Amino acid sequence: MSASRAAARKAGNPSPICILCGTNAAGHDLFPGILKCPACGFVFANSQISPKELNGLYQRNYFFGEEYVNYIEDKATLQKNFAERLHTLKNFSPGGRLFEIGCAYGFFLELAGNSWTAEGCDISKDAAQAARTSGLKVALGDFLKLPSRRKSYDVVCMWDTIEHLARPDLYVEKAASLLRDGGVLSLTTGDIGSWMARVRKSRWRLIHPPTHLYYFDRRTITTLLNRYGLQVVHFEHCGYYRSLKQILYSILILNRKGKAGKSFYEMLKPLFGINIYVNLFDIMFVVARKT
């Protein structure tokens, strides 16, 4: 575990307030370290991360070892997923200007540029620099701190990003202000109300603070979007392509940590080039239109 991740785990919030309804959820543990608001049922981590700690979590090591085995080598697989999202997104926005929050190395923007004038931002210095080197318009920095003009975009995207944010409500608020009337906010995130999450409980694969801080279901994500004038026009539980290399790395290296897992991982190297499509029906794909 990196020093920044260890520090973030220790950063407790003594009086956690639900961002959806303002209720103090202290003492209402759903799982160890995970709270459930007693008023509205929203689920979130019992931790408060400083901007410095949050920034430290998502630098180069996150993409090469701490979360992904090698993000760049997985580009083709990741773009299969982005192509699926784009296919659906075009039904709600045929073109115009698009902005992606948390664009990493720009693999989605590269594809989106065929239909929209695409740009984005990320807090990872290495990722943002690599994206710009590829000719993409990517700003380095926190979306909330970037200068912006109201009603500038037709689409704002957050792919597997909202659960990582210290204040997702503020990001949705700003994203909504950037959308033109009729524009759409599109996002993916885990569904804690899904059958898989209910069965796995604290062992659900998407519960891992401090990188995942907020856990939405269909009702709570709709509540947040509606607050800022966004109406859900598309909802599905989407599947993902994953490289077998990344799947095995997550299971055998990240989760097990032991020598046996590493040895088994090395034995399976001949299979690393295989891609697998998986839908556990615990990931939400939501498109919401600004009214």
**pLDDT given for residue 60 in this prediction:** 94
Mean pLDDT of 281-285: 98
What tokens were used for 185? 């906010």
Query: Confidence band (pLDDT; 50, 70, 90) for 245?
Result: confident
Q: Is the pLDDT of residue 256 over 80?
A: no
Mean pLDDT of 59-75: 91
Taking the alpha carbons of 160, 193, 56, 174 in that order, is the dihedral positive or negative? positive
Between the ranges 14-28, 55-69, 182-196, 273-287, where is the mean pLDDT highest? 182-196
**pLDDT given for residue 69 in this prediction:** 85
Query: Which residue is associated with the tokens 């085995």?
Result: 69
Give CA–CA dist 166/10, Å, rounded. 15
Give CA–CA dist 102/229, Å, rounded. 22
Q: Which fold has domain 71-290?
A: Rossmann fold (3.40.50)
Mean pLDDT of 274-278: 86
Tell me the average pLDDT of the chain.
Answer: 89
Query: Confidence band (pLDDT; 50, 70, 90) for 210?
Result: very high
Taking the alpha carbons of 69, 142, 51, 224 in that order, is the dihedral positive or negative? negative
Give CA–CA dist 156/202, Å, rounded. 31
Query: Confidence band (pLDDT; 50, 70, 90) for 130?
Result: very high
Dump pLDDT digits (tens) for 211-243: 999 999 999 999 999 999 999 999 999 999 988
Dump pLDDT digits (tens) for 100-109: 999 999 999 9
Give CA–CA dist 81/238, Å, rounded. 10
| Cα-based distances in Å from 49 to 37, 46, 160, 165, 215 | 19, 10, 19, 10, 16
**pLDDT given for residue 54 in this prediction:** 85
Q: Is the pLDDT of residue 13 over 50?
A: no
Contact (Cβ atoms closer than 8 angstroms) between residue 178 and residue 148: yes
Q: In this predicted model, which residue has the larger pLDDT, 6 or 53? A: 53
Give CA–CA dist 211/162, Å, rounded. 11
What tokens were used for 195? 């059958």
Q: Around Cβ 282, how many Cβ atoms within 10 Å?
A: 20
Q: Is the pLDDT of residue 268 over 70?
A: no
29-31 and 43-45 as β-strands: parallel, antiparallel, unpaired?
unpaired
Q: Is the pLDDT of residue 264 over 50?
A: no
34-36 and 43-45 as β-strands: parallel, antiparallel, unpaired?
antiparallel
Dump pLDDT digits (tens) for 173-184: 999 999 999 999
**pLDDT given for residue 14 in this prediction:** 37
Q: Could you list the beta-strand ranges (E) of 141-213.
A: 153-159, 179-190
Query: Which residue is associated with the tokens 């009214």?
Result: 291
Give CA–CA dist 68/83, Å, rounded. 20
Dump pLDDT digits (tens) for 143-192: 999 998 899 999 999 999 999 999 999 999 999 999 999 999 999 999 99
Query: Confidence band (pLDDT; 50, 70, 90) for 244?
Result: confident
Of the chain, the percentage scoring pLDDT greater than 90 comes to 75
- The stretches of the chain forming alpha helices (DSSP H) are 3-10, 51-57, 60-61, 75-89, 107-112, 125-133, 168-178, 195-200, 218-227, 244-248, 259-267
